[in-house]
Amino acid sequence: METNKELQKKQNTIRFIEAARLLIDEIGLKKVSIRKIAEQAGFHNSTIYLYFKDIDELILLASLKHFNGYSVALANQSRQKNSPYESFLAIWEFFAQSAFEKPEIFYNFFFGKHSDNLTDVLERYYELFPDEKTIYREDIRSMYFGRNIYERCHMILNPLLEEPGVRLTEENLDLVNDVTVGYLKYLLEQKCQDPKIPAESLSKKLLSMIKYMIDA
């Protein structure tokens, strides 16, 4: 059972996250500042550092609300009896749809300051917001809570090594993984720089490139 002090800390942490989330939606991620978050939450600027490493960690936590659609799609995929190849493409399709609709949020999450420590961020978020946590089968859960984008992508590539009609091998797996992540980063940068680019066209480009690399 939580003590009053622990409960108060949890409530204040949630207040900061919800304040940051509101500001991200209202003014955009780039315009969010410590001062604006603190004002929105009703605290002094310096109080943020009692609950978060820095504003970057807080923004990552606040951004996770925008992963709910992707999370639900993954949960639905968990219940399907698809082949590893079908599951792989479906997961990438869900991800691309969400990522290119919210490019700044996804770029910052997967390629920002704390993007190499995502497991801790995700676990902390779902401890604070347990109602948003979704049940996945074990392989998808491991991928979703992967440490970074490279590890996540690697996890869903691995099962394809035994798939017929796929030219993925132990020798080229790391290369395919690096190229995929690099191309994702490039397309997200394009979308951030030019929001008028249709999200659907970028999704198609990413999926076409992925299929080109792995299909025999």
Work out the average pLDDT over 182-196: 97
The two three-digit tokens of residue 162, written as one number: 């035994």
**Residue 58 included in any domain:** no
CA distance 142 to 204: 26
* Count of the separate structural domains present in the chain: 2
Q: In angstroms, how far is the first alpha carbon of the chain from the final one?
A: 55
pLDDT in tens, 61-119: 999 988 988 888 888 887 888 899 999 999 999 999 999 999 999 999 999 999 999 99
Give the model's confidence band at 128: pLDDT under 50 very low, under 70 low, under 90 confident, else very high.
very high
- For the stretch 75-90, pLDDT in tens is 888 788 889 999 999 9
pTM across the whole model: 0.92
Give the CATH number of the domain where residue 8 resides. Answer: 1.10.10.60
Give burial (CB, 10 Å; 0-12/13-18/19+) of 64: buried
88 and 175 assigned to the same domain = yes
Q: Are residues 77 and 125 in the same domain?
A: yes
Residue ranges making up the domain that contains 78: 65-214
* Shared-domain flag, residues 149 and 123: yes
Same domain, 127 and 105: yes
> Does the residue 57 lie in any domain?
no
In a domain, 27, yes or no: yes
Pairwise CA distance, residues 63 & 85, whole Å:
30
DSSP 79-146: TS---HHHHHHHHHHHHHHHHHHSHHHHHHHHHSTTTT-HHHHHHHHHHH-GGG-----HHHHHHHT-
pLDDT band at 56 (very low <50, low <70, confident <90, very high): very high
pLDDT-wise least confident of 33-37, 135-139, 184-188: 135-139
Query: Do 106 and 9 have their domain in common?
Result: no
